[in-house]
């Protein structure tokens, strides 16, 4: 590196001496002579030179974490530049202490409200267990009533008849089918309480149908129970036993009637022979009437039971069973709705409790952050590691008694073993910069020490802060990492960074002032025996002082560093457009595009 630096310095010095001699000679002759430059052959280093500040690439930064609108005051702070030692870290040395009195008052106020929130949360949690217990008891009662209604129906019409009827109606007919029915119904109920599905269905429904007083007919009313009597399909149920009892009573009444009739016939014969009185005969006739009435009553009761009482009781028991099925589902639905409300209140109370608990923890963390202790050894620096003018100007300076804003950097302890330079690359050079390029760093406080580094980071977008007050300024932040450890370097030092873009070997180059451009053509004013002439060249890469000439010049050719005053530029070639044409040649001025802040590739 030193070799090419010495070479560049030597070339620059030789050029200065040469131009000075030329000017002196010309002045002594009395004629005005423009300064000249000589086309040279050699190695040319293409670089980008920028200034920046040395920063620690790794650091421990402490910020104000207290969230108070009025800010928080610094009670005590360690002196800037203090070197934190390993012993300080082990002893937990206090570096900064902030005023925590306002936070302590907030915690006291919060505890009062938090106790009420905690009680509400505990109550909501207990209500879940209570309501769940009550709901389960209600469901258990309804489930038992359902089983009893099924047993009553089976008892009345007989097990086989009951199963046949219930199967035709597609209703549960035993305990197994009852359990399956309840499971399916419960699944439908749970699905119906899906909040997302309810929300979607509510959006789709434009209106609700009004409640109708006319209820649907019961399934039991569609059953023809008479057919079970006609076909003798009843089992050994209560109805069958009742019919048998009534039939037996009718048979007994008929037998008694026969006996009474024979007794009356005998009494009549005895009365004709005057063996018994007329009163005795009349008594026998009364007994006959009673026997006939008893037989008629028995037969009528049997007919009434068969035609009316049996179907009525059977339908009533079946309807009761059907109603119990629906009552069980209603009870479960009501319990689910009630539990949904209980769960909603519980979730609300729990959310409130969690928020208040988190707020309490946050207050405790803020109080803990009011005392900053040493965590790593290093040099104490006030403010943030990446502060600049546009951010630091909104903060009050760090000192004892100063008021800090939330998030404001307080102190930074940099890692002195990993330093770099933060530079801003002008937009004219940004496309030349890539990661890993070699760079040479010189600290202004130690100009005789040249350090080696590399490009470690380049921003994708320009710095918005830099263009806030100068919109035309576009710079891209970049980081150049310094290799090795150097005790004389300190964060915040100003430094110059030379980023090596390209190293050209054995090329022809001239000073950048010697190359001009017109109509996208590069040219020089080549010195001839008769004066000078406009001469086209093919330009290549350049740095701040020299530009490569790929073709058009030979080593030793002399070129003018300024444009002759009598030179008339060619008319500017403008593509056809709606804009007015340029008629005046005086409006066309030569453009020197290879200034220090421009890029010939963009010319």
| pLDDT band for position 577 (cuts 50, 70, 90) | very low
pLDDT at position 241: 81
Cβ count near 50 (within 10 Å): 21
Mean pLDDT within 272-290 = 83
pLDDT per position as a tens digit, 119-178:
988 988 888 888 888 888 888 888 888 888 888 888 888 888 888 888 888 888 888 888
169/48 same-domain check: no
Q: Give the chain's domain count.
A: 2
Q: Answer for the pair 559, 39: CB distance below 8 angstroms, yes or no.
A: yes
pTM: 0.50
> Of all helices (H) and strands (E), which one includes residue 414?
strand 409-414
pLDDT at position 336: 84
Query: End of a domain among 346, 361, 376?
Result: 361
Nearest residue to 572 (alpha-carbon basis) of 558, 554, 584: 584
454/357 same-domain check: no
Is residue 77 packed enough to be buried (19+ CB in 10 Å), middle (13-18) or exposed (0-12)?
buried
Q: Give 565-577 as a DSSP string.
A: TT--PPPPP--S-
In a domain, 535, yes or no: yes
Burial 91-103, CB ≥16 within 10 A → b, else e: eeeebbbbbbeeb
Nearest residue to 149 (alpha-carbon basis) of 284, 314, 341: 314
In a domain, 195, yes or no: yes
433/297 same-domain check: no
Q: Give 204-224 as a DSSP string.
A: H----PPPPS-PPPPGGGG--
pLDDT at position 497: 94
**Start-to-end C-alpha separation, the chain:** 31
Query: End of a domain among 327, 361, 395?
Result: 361
Q: Distance (Å, rounded) from C-alpha 237 to C-alpha 314? A: 11
Neighbouring residues of 439: CB distance < 8 A, sequence distance ≥ 6: 452, 453, 454, 455, 480, 497, 498, 499, 500
355/419 same-domain check: no
Q: Which CATH number goes with the domain that contains 441? A: 2.40.30.170
351/431 same-domain check: no
Q: Which of 56-65, 220-229, 425-434, 440-449 has the lowest mean pLDDT?
A: 220-229
Q: Answer for the pair 315, 298: CB distance below 8 angstroms, yes or no.
A: no
In a domain, 527, yes or no: yes
In a domain, 209, yes or no: no
pLDDT per position as a tens digit, 4-51:
444 444 544 445 444 444 443 343 334 456 788 999 999 988 888 899
In a domain, 96, yes or no: no
List of long-range contacts for 585-592, beta carbons under 8 Å, 24+ apart: 590/516, 590/518, 590/563, 591/516, 591/517, 591/518, 592/513, 592/516, 592/517
357/435 same-domain check: no
In a domain, 79, yes or no: no
470/356 same-domain check: no
Selected residue with higher pLDDT from 180 and 212: 180
pLDDT over threshold 90, residue 218:
no
CA dihedral 523, 528, 530, 531 (to 10 degrees): 50
Token duo for residue 365: 């963390």
438/512 same-domain check: yes
49/121 same-domain check: no
Query: End of a domain among 294, 329, 361?
Result: 361
State whether residue 582 is helix, strand or coil.
coil
126/35 same-domain check: no
The position carrying tokens 């080593």 is 555
In a domain, 76, yes or no: no
323/439 same-domain check: no
Domain that holds residue 587: 2-58+415-602
466/528 same-domain check: yes
Helix axes 238-272, 310-369, angle to 10 degrees: 150
DSSP assigned state of 412? E
> Of all helices (H) and strands (E), which one includes residue 548?
strand 546-551
Mean pLDDT within 563-573 = 74
In a domain, 369, yes or no: no
């Amino acid at each position: 590196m030193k070799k090419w630096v010495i070479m560049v310095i030597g070339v620059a010095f030789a050029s200065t001496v040469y131009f000075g001699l030329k000017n002196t000679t010309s002045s002594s002759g009395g004629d005005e002579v423009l300064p000249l430059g000589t086309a040279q052959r050699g190695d040319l280093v293409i670089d980008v030179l920028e200034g920046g500040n040395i920063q620690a690439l790794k650091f421990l930064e402490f910020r104000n974490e207290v969230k108070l609108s009025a800010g928080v005051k610094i009670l005590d702070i360690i002196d800037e530049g203090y070197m934190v030692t390993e012993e300080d870290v082990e002893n937990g040395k206090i570096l900064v202490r902030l005023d925590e009195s306002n936070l302590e008052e907030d915690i006291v106020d919060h505890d009062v409200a938090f106790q009420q929130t905690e009680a509400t949360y505990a109550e909501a949690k207990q209500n879940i267990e209570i309501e769940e217990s009550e709901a389960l008891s209600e469901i258990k009662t309804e489930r038992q009533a359902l089983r009893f209604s099924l047993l009553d129906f089976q008892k009345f019409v007989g097990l086989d008849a009951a199963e046949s009827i219930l199967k035709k109606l597609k209703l549960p007919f035993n305990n197994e089918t009852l359990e399956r029915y309840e499971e399916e119904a419960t699944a439908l109920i749970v699905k119906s309480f899906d909040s997302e599905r309810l929300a979607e269905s509510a959006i789709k429904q434009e209106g609700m149908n009004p409640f109708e007083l006319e209820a649907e007919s019961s399934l039991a009313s569609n059953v023809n129970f008479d057919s079970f009597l006609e076909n003798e399909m009843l089992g050994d149920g209560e109805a069958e036993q009742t019919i048998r009892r009534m039939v037996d009573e009718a048979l007994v009444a008929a037998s008694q009637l026969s006996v009474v009739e024979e007794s009356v016939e005998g009494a009549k014969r005895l009365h004709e022979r005057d063996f018994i009185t007329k009163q005795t005969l009349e008594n026998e006739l009364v007994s006959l009437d009673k026997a006939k009435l008893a037989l008629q009553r028995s037969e009528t009761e049997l007919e009434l039971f068969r035609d009316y009482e049996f179907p009525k009781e059977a339908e009533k028991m079946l309807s009761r069973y059907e109603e119990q099925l629906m009552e069980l589902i209603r009870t479960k639905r009501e319990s689910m709705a009630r539990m949904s409300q209980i769960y909603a209140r519980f979730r609300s109370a729990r959310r409130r409790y969690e928020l208040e608990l988190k707020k309490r923890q946050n207050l405790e963390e803020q109080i803990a952050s009011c005392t900053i202790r040493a965590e790593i050894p290093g040099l104490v620096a006030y403010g943030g590691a990446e502060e600049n003018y546009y951010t630091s100007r909104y903060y009050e300076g760090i000192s004892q008694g100063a008021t800090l804003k939330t998030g404001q950097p307080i102190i930074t302890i940099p890692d002195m073993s990993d330093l770099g330079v933060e530079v801003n690359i002008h937009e004219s050079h940004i496309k030349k910069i890539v990661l890993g390029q070699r760079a040479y760093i010189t600290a202004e406080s130690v100009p005789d020490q040249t350090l080696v580094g590399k490009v470690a980071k380049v921003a994708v977008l320009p710095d918005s802060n830099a263009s806030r007050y100068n919109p035309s300024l576009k710079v891209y932040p970049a980081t150049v990492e310094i290799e090795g450890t150097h005790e004389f370097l300190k964060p915040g030092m100003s430094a110059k960074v030379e980023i090596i873009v390209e190293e050209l070997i054995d090329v022809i180059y001239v000073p950048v002032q010697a190359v001009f451009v017109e109509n996208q053509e590069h040219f020089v004013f080549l010195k001839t025996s008769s004066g000078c002439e406009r001469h086209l060249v093919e330009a290549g890469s350049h740095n701040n002082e020299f530009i490569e000439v790929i073709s058009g010049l030979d080593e030793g050719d002399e070129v003018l560093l300024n444009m002759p005053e009598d030179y008339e530029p060619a008319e500017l070639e403008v593509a056809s457009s709606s804009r007015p044409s340029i008629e005046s040649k005086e409006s066309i001025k030569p453009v020197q595009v290879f200034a220090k802040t421009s890029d010939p590739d963009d010319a």
